[in-house]
């Protein structure tokens, strides 16, 4: 065998080993895209949780303002009951007005409290989903790194191990969508 033929065989063998790494390289590209998508989904879900928490806080502030107003009206009604008034008809009219406000605010308080609790439940769900996306991102990144080791070592075991981590990450993304 001549030197040129030996070199040509060596080049073909080397080319063949690069051909065997194409699936690994493709897997890495797909994993990189999945990591990017999962990262964006996680960030959006964290933002959703923060905005919903702000809505819950606003709703609790609304509830508290109504509660204070109802308490003040109740105190005023109590005060009207113990003071001497010069115009009993005006006092009765004022007391009825306060009682009407009390009834209205009691209903509004119940609705505001219910709405605030609903917002808090939405926050909990969004945080749970965001945690799943964060876990998925970490698992996909681990899968990507382990898969890249295949290119350095030429050992397919790292490719398979990277795929296992990646599948766990994909399962975590899927589980985030199952939380509703």
pLDDT at res. 157:
95
Q: What would the two tokens of residue 60 be?
A: 């609790």
The label of the residue with tokens 């350095």 reads 152
Q: What is the pTM of this model?
A: 0.72
- Select from 99, 174, 96 the least CA-distant residue to 140: 174
Under 8 Å between Cβ of 150 and 162: yes
pLDDT at res. 9:
42
Under 8 Å between Cβ of 144 and 33: no
| φ, ψ at 23 (rounded to 5°) | -60, -35
Q: At what angle do helices 88-153 and 156-178 cross, to 10 degrees?
A: 170
The label of the residue with tokens 């990450």 reads 169
Low-confidence ranges of the chain (pLDDT < 50): 1, 6, 9, 12-13, 15-16
DSSP 58-113: HHHHHHHHHHHHHHHHHHHHHHHHHS--S-HHHHHHHHHHHHHHHHHHHHHHHHHH
pLDDT (tens digit per residue) in 50-70: 999 999 999 999 889 888 888
Whole-angstrom Cα Rg for the chain: 33
């Amino acid at each position: 065998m001549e030197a040129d033929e030996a070199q040509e065989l060596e080049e073909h063998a080397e080319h063949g080993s690069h051909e065997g790494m194409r699936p690994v390289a493709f897997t890495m590209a797909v994993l990189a895209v999945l990591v990017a998508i999962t990262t964006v989904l996680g960030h959006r879900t964290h933002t959703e949780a923060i905005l919903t928490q702000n809505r819950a806080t606003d709703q609790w502030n609304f509830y508290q303002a109504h509660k204070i107003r109802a308490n003040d009206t109740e105190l005023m009604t109590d005060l009207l009951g113990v003071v001497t008034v010069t115009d009993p008809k005006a006092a009765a009219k004022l007391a009825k007005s306060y009682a009407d406000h009390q009834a209205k605010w009691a209903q509004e308080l119940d609705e505001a409290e219910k709405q605030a609790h609903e917002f808090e439940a939405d926050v909990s769900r969004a945080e749970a989903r965001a945690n799943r996306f964060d876990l998925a991102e970490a698992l996909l990144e681990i899968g990507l790194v382990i898969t890249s080791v295949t290119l350095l070592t030429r050992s397919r075991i790292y490719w398979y191990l990277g795929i296992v981590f990646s599948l766990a990450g994909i399962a975590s993304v899927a589980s985030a969508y199952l939380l509703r």
